[in-house]
Amino acid sequence: MSPDALLYFAAWIFCVGICLVIVKRNTLLMLVGTELMLNAANVNLVYFNSRSSLPDGAMFAVFVIVVAVCEAAVGLAIMMRVYHFYQTSLPDQISELRERT
C-alpha cells in the first residue's frame, strides 16, 4: 500500500474537523471538531513514529490525548456554564464583548 494513504486520511479528518469548527453553530459540535483535529494530528504523530524504534512520537500522542481530555473537560464545563448564563449554546449569540448596535 502506499503509506501516504494514512496522511491523506489524517488530512481529511483534520479538514473535517476544521470545517466543523467553522461551520457548525452548536458549541458541542465545535468541540467535536477540535477533537477530530487533535486526532488527525495524533494519527500523523503515530504514523511517523512507526518508522523509528524510538517511542517519542507515541509519547507525544499520549500527551496530546491527555491535553485533549483536559481541553474537552474544561471546554464542556465552560459550555455548560455559558449555557446556564446565556440560555443558548450558539456561539453567535454570545457576543458580550462586541460593540452594541
> Which of the residues 52 through 91 are near other proteins (CB under 8 A)?
52-59, 61-63, 65-74, 76-81, 83-91
| 18 sits near other proteins (criterion: CB under 8 A) | yes
Q: What string of DSSP letters covers 29-79? A: HHHHHHHHHHHHHHHHHHHHHTTSSS-HHHHHHHHHHHHHHHHHHHHHHHH
How many residues interact with other proteins (rule CB under 8 A)? 83
| 43 sits near other proteins (criterion: CB under 8 A) | yes
| 36 sits near other proteins (criterion: CB under 8 A) | yes
Give the number of C-alpha atoms closer than 13 A to the C-alpha of residue 14, restricted to the C-beta side. 12
| 37 sits near other proteins (criterion: CB under 8 A) | no
